Amino acid sequence: MTRRLVLATRNEHKVHELRQILAALVDDLDLEVVGADEVEGAADVPETEVTFLGNARLKAVALARASGLPSVADDSGLAVEVLGGSPGVFSARWSGSAAGEGAARAEKDRANLGLLLEQVADVPDEHRAAAFVCAAVVAMPDGRVEGVEGRVEGSLVRAPRGTNGFGYDPVFVPAGDSRTLAEYTDEEKNAISHRGNAFRALEPVLRELLA
What is the pLDDT, as a whole number, of residue 2?
78
Q: What percent of the chain has pLDDT over 90?
A: 72
What pairing do the DSSP bridges indicate for beta strands 31-35 and 3-7? Answer: parallel
For the beta carbon of residue 134, count every other beta carbon within 10 angstroms.
24
Domain architecture of the chain: domains with CATH: 3-210 (3.90.950.10)
**Residues counted in the chain:** 211
Give Cβ neighbours of residue 62 (< 8 Å, ≥ 6 apart). Answer: 8, 43, 45
pLDDT at 62 exceeding the cut of 80: yes
What pairing do the DSSP bridges indicate for beta strands 71-80 and 129-139? Answer: antiparallel
| pTM beyond cutoff 0.75 | yes
Query: Which residue out of 75, 109, 125, 169 is catalytically annotated?
Result: 75
CA distances from 125 to 35, 129, 181, 190 (A): 39, 8, 18, 26
pLDDT at 120 exceeding the cut of 80: yes
> From CA 20, how far away is CA 1, in angstroms rounded?
21
pLDDT at 132 exceeding the cut of 80: yes
Please report the beta strands in 49-117, taking only residues with DSSP state E, as ranges in sequence order: 71-80
Confirm whether 75 is a catalytic residue: yes
pLDDT at 174 exceeding the cut of 90: yes
For the beta carbon of residue 23, count every other beta carbon within 10 angstroms.
11
